[in-house]
Amino acid sequence: MVLQALLLAGCGGDATPAPQPSASASSVADAAVTRPAGEERLVLAFGDSLYAGYGLDRGEGLPETLQDRLWEEGINATVANAGVSGDTTAAGRQRLAFALDNLPRTPDLVLLGLGGNDALRQIAPAETRANLAAMMAELDERGIAVVLTGMLAPPNLGGDYASQFNAIWPDLARQYQAPLDPFILDGVLGDRRLMLPDGVHPNADGVERIADRVTPIVAKALSA
């Protein structure tokens, strides 16, 4: 089963860093993508190892790839990487205010993606929901737009767990009228060509596939 891999490995923890501006893959590779003109938009990518770029070279993570894609579309966006490998929703809830307050200004958008490590640890879905709801409420109170990237429970945790867990992101997206990518690893998890050897994290090609789906959602949210 495609989600079975999520139970095979965790995502090692790091000390909580301040958000870092993404080094675009193009700047690292000395490619042609350059920052476009226009008003700069600030996006905070706040998540776990799937945002942090676990196992990837500099410039290959999702925040960096997303920034490149936005530049290619003529959107002058800086995507600050606040991904921390191993983060649960509880850990994210504890550090969200710190991440926001350590940016140079209030972001125009937060890309929020946590929950995979909750499933790995079999944390009760009610706790995951409460933590994500608290983060959404914090962002709403600060007047910051959000794009959610969701997660699905591994099937061997059982139907009851999955039904409660999987509903969290669509429910919160409806409640806060936030754009949603329902499953961040859709089309990637289970494809060895797109995954690192651990079977849990995307490789650079996998990140590109995720960016194919997420970039238009972020671009639309920034233009709203």
- Residues annotated as catalytic (active site), given as ranges: 49, 198, 201
Give the CA dihedral 111, 139, 117, 216, nearest 10 degrees: -20
Which residue from 38, 61, 55, 71 is spatially nearest to 111, judged by alpha carbons? 61
**Axis-axis angle for helices 62-72, 204-223 (nearest 10):** 50
Handedness of CA 154, 159, 164, 167 (dihedral sign): positive
- Cα–Cα distances (Å) from 48 to 114, 134, 170, in that order, read 6, 17, 19
Q: Cα(157)–Cα(145) distance, rounded to whole angstroms?
A: 32
